[in-house]
Chains A and B, each alone.
Chain A
C-alpha cells in the first residue's frame, strides 16, 4: 500500500518535472547568451576594463556614465541617430502603408510577386547592399551623380540645385548635409517591405462589412481611409512604429559601411551604435561601452514608451 503511494508520488513528481525538462534547453541558452551578458554589461558599466581577459576590472562607480553624458561626441552621435531615425523611419511607414493599401486592393495581379519583391531587401545581406549603394552614390561618377549631372543640364533643375547651393556632381557621402538623407535611402529601401507586410496583415483583418457599410452611407475614399482603415490599423501601427524606434536608435551597419567607422566628414553620420563600438572595440574602454549600451537602452525604453503612449491616446480621441 505504502509502496504504491510512494510510486504514485514519484510518478506524479516525474510527470510534473518533465515539461520543465523539455523547456530547459531554451533557458540554459537564454541564461548563458541572453541574461548573463545583460547583467554582466550592467556590472561592467561601473568598472574600468580594457577588454583583455587577464587584466583587472577596477570599480569606478558612475564615472563611465558621467563621462559619456558629458562627452560632446555622445551628444553629436545622439543627435545624428535621432535625425537618422526620423529621416529613415517616417518614409518607411508612409510607403509601407501605401504599398499595403495597393496590394490589398482586389484588382491587383501578381500579388505574391510584389510581396516577395518588396520583402527581398529585408533578407538581403546589409553589407553587400551597402557596397552596392556606395557604388551607386559614388563621387563623381556614380549613377546617382550621372542622374544629377543630367538633370543639371535642364534649366529648371539647375535653378533648384543652385537655390540649395548644391555643387554638381554631389558628394553624397562626403558632404555633411547630404550624408544622413543618403544613408537613410538605404534604410528605407530595406525596411519598407517589412512594414508593408505588417500593414498588409493588418489590413486583411479589417472586416469587409465596415467598408460595405461605409459605401452604403456614401463615404468618400479619404473618409474611408481616415475613419476606418487607419483606426483599425492602430494596433499594427503601434507595433510597427515601436519596432522602427528601437531599430532606428540602433542604426549601425549602413553608416558604418558607407562612410566608415569615424562617421564620415566631421562625424556627420556617426551614430550611437558606432560610438559604442568604437569606444569598446577600438579604444578599449569596455566599461565605457557597457555604460553607453545602458544609456541607449534607457533611451530606447523611453522612446518606445512615448510612441506607445502617443498612439494609445489617439485611440481614446477617436
Chain B
C-alpha cells in the first residue's frame, strides 16, 4: 500500500514537471471601453495562433486608464504588458521614455510602416524618430449633419465648400422659434469644435519641426476667429460634449452639424439617437478658404505600446502585431466596436463599401477612408499636452469671456514657452 502511494507521488511529480515544461506566458492588456470588447472578440483567433500566450484584458475608465498608466510607469512596476494609449495622451508618452521603441529588434515594427495610415504613424513617432506606440485604430474627422434639417432650409451639403459657406448655412439654420430673442436651433453644438476642426487639419500642430511654438500662427488665428464668429452669430449652441443636452440635441435635431470623429456614428446609432436613423449624413469638412482643398483632420485614435518594465515583451509584441497588422482582426474590431482600421489593407474589405442605413444609404466608410488618406502627417512633440491645455483654456476664454483673439493666442504662447523652457 505504501509502495503504491509512493509510486503515485512520483508519477504526480513527474507529471507536473512535464506540464511545466511548456509554460504559458501570461500578458496583461490594459485598455478602456469599448476596446475591451473589440479585443475580447478576437481573442479566440489569437489563441489559435499563439496557444502558449494567455491574455488578460484589464479595462478601466478612459481617464483612469491613462492616469494609472502614468503612475505605473513612474513607480517602475504595475504597468500592463500592452498598454492602449489614446491620441490625446500619446504626446505625453512620446519623448519621455518608459515605453519601448518598437522600431528596434525584436519588434522591427518598421516593416509595417507602409501598411499603416501615414499620418497616424507620425503621431506615434517621436521627433527623434522612435516609434513608441503602434497605431491600432484611427478616427478620420468628418461632420455629421441632419439631412432633414438641411433640406428643410433648402441647403445642399455639396454647396458647403468653404468655412464661409458653412457660416452662411448656419445663419439660415439657426432660428429663434419661440420669439424670446434667442436661437433655439443651431448649426453646431459648440463653437470650440469649429476651431479644433481647423487646428487638427493643420500641417503643423502646436510646434513646428524645430520645436518652435506656432500657436500664434495665421492658422490658429483663423481657427479662433472662426470659432468666435460662429459663437457671436448665435449659430453655436454652447452645449458641451458628453452632456445630456448634447444627446438631446442629436435626438431632436436642434443641432444640425457636428464636426467629430468617425466613431460618433456608432454612438449615435447605438445609444445617443437610435430613433434618428436615416436622417443623418456624413460630410467632409469644408475648405478653410476658397480655392484651398477641403480640410482633413483626425478626431481620436488608439495606439498600442509596450512599457519598458514589461517582462513579456515578445508576447506583448505578438499581441500588438496581431491586432494592428492583420486585416481580418482589424475588420472584426471595426465590426465589434467601430475601431476604424489603421491598417490600410483592411480598407479594401467589402464591409467598407456597405451602404449604411443610418446615413440614408450613404457609403460613409469610403468617405472616411478618403479623408484618412488626406490627413496631414504631423510630428508629435512632447509638449503637445502642455500646449493643448493652454490652447483649450484660451479658446474657452475667447468664446465665453470675450477675450480678444490676439491676446489669447499671445497668452497661450507665453504659457507654453514658459513651460517648455523648464527642466
Question: Could you say which of B67, B239, B385, B393 has the most chain A C-beta atoms within 10 Å of its C-beta?
Answer: B393
Given contacts A53-B73, A53-B309, contact A48 B238 (CB under 8 A): no
- Asked if B403 and A266 make an inter-chain contact with CB atoms under 8 angstroms apart, the answer reads yes
Which listed residue, A135, A261, A262, A288, touches B422 by the CB 8 Å rule?
Answer: A288
Q: How far is the CA of A141 from the CA of B403 in the complex (A)?
A: 26
- Asked if A284 and B397 make an inter-chain contact with CB atoms under 8 angstroms apart, the answer reads no
A52 nearest in chain B by CB position: B98
B310-355 at interface with A (beta carbon < 8 Å): none
In this assembly, does B203 line the interface, its C-beta being within 8 Å of a C-beta of chain A? no
User: Which residues of chain A come closer than 8 Å to B386, judged between CB atoms?
Assistant: 283
B389-423 to A contact mask, C-beta < 8 Å, 1/0: 10011101101110100000000000100110011
Quote the shortest CB–CB distance from B253 to chain A (angstroms). Answer: 15
In this assembly, does B248 line the interface, its C-beta being within 8 Å of a C-beta of chain A? yes
Could you list 19 examples of A-B contacts with CB < 8 Å? Answer: A48-B423, A52-B74, A52-B97, A53-B74, A60-B423, A67-B422, A139-B238, A139-B239, A139-B240, A141-B244, A174-B396, A176-B400, A261-B389, A262-B396, A265-B396, A265-B400, A266-B393, A283-B385, A285-B422
Given contacts A139-B238, A263-B393, contact A53 B245 (CB under 8 A): no
Interface range, A side: 35 or more
- Asked if A174 and B400 make an inter-chain contact with CB atoms under 8 angstroms apart, the answer reads yes
User: Which residues of chain A come closer than 8 Å to B415, judged between CB atoms?
Assistant: 72-73
In this assembly, does A175 line the interface, its C-beta being within 8 Å of a C-beta of chain B? yes
Number of A-B residue pairs having CB atoms within 8 Å of each other in the complex: 102
Which listed residue, A54, A263, A282, touches B98 by the CB 8 Å rule?
Answer: A54
Besides A141-B244, A262-B389, 4 new A-B residue pairs in contact (Cβ under 8 A), listed by A number? A52-B96, A53-B98, A54-B76, A262-B392
User: Which residues of chain B come closer than 8 Å to A171, judged between CB atoms?
Assistant: 238, 400
In this assembly, does B22 line the interface, its C-beta being within 8 Å of a C-beta of chain A? no
Q: How far is the CA of A266 from the CA of B392 in the complex (A)?
A: 9
User: Which residues of chain B come closer than 8 Å to A50, judged between CB atoms?
Assistant: 96-97
In this assembly, does B153 line the interface, its C-beta being within 8 Å of a C-beta of chain A? no
In this assembly, does A191 line the interface, its C-beta being within 8 Å of a C-beta of chain B? no
Quote the shortest CB–CB distance from B152 to chain A (angstroms). Answer: 22
User: Which residues of chain A come closer than 8 Å to B75, judged between CB atoms?
Assistant: 53
Q: Is the interface of B mostly helix, strand, loop or mixed?
A: helix
B203-217 to A contact mask, C-beta < 8 Å, 1/0: 000000000000000
B185-229 to A contact mask, C-beta < 8 Å, 1/0: 000000000000000000000000000000000000000000000
Q: How far is the CA of A171 from the CA of B386 in the complex (A)?
A: 27
The 8 closest A-B CB pairs, nearest first, are A53-B76, A266-B397, A52-B98, A51-B74, A48-B423, A265-B400, A265-B396, A52-B97
Q: How far is the CA of A142 from the CA of B244 in the complex (A)?
A: 8
A residues apposed to B, CB below 8 Å? 48, 50-55, 58, 60, 63, 67, 71-73, 134-135, 138-142, 171, 173-176, 261-267, 278, 281-286, 288
User: Which residues of chain B come closer than 8 Å to A176, judged between CB atoms?
Assistant: 400-401
- Asked if A174 and B76 make an inter-chain contact with CB atoms under 8 angstroms apart, the answer reads no
Quote the shortest CB–CB distance from A95 to chain B (angstroms). Answer: 29
- Asked if A140 and B385 make an inter-chain contact with CB atoms under 8 angstroms apart, the answer reads no
B75 nearest in chain A by CB position: A53
A287 nearest in chain B by CB position: B423
Q: How far is the CA of A261 from the CA of B388 in the complex (A)?
A: 12
In this assembly, does B108 line the interface, its C-beta being within 8 Å of a C-beta of chain A? no
Q: How far is the CA of A134 from the CA of B242 in the complex (A)?
A: 11
In this assembly, does B308 line the interface, its C-beta being within 8 Å of a C-beta of chain A? yes
A48 nearest in chain B by CB position: B423
- Asked if A140 and B237 make an inter-chain contact with CB atoms under 8 angstroms apart, the answer reads yes
User: Which residues of chain A come closer than 8 Å to B422, judged between CB atoms?
Assistant: 63, 67, 285, 288
User: Which residues of chain B come closer than 8 Å to A267, judged between CB atoms?
Assistant: 393
User: Which residues of chain B come closer than 8 Å to A142, judged between CB atoms?
Assistant: 244-245
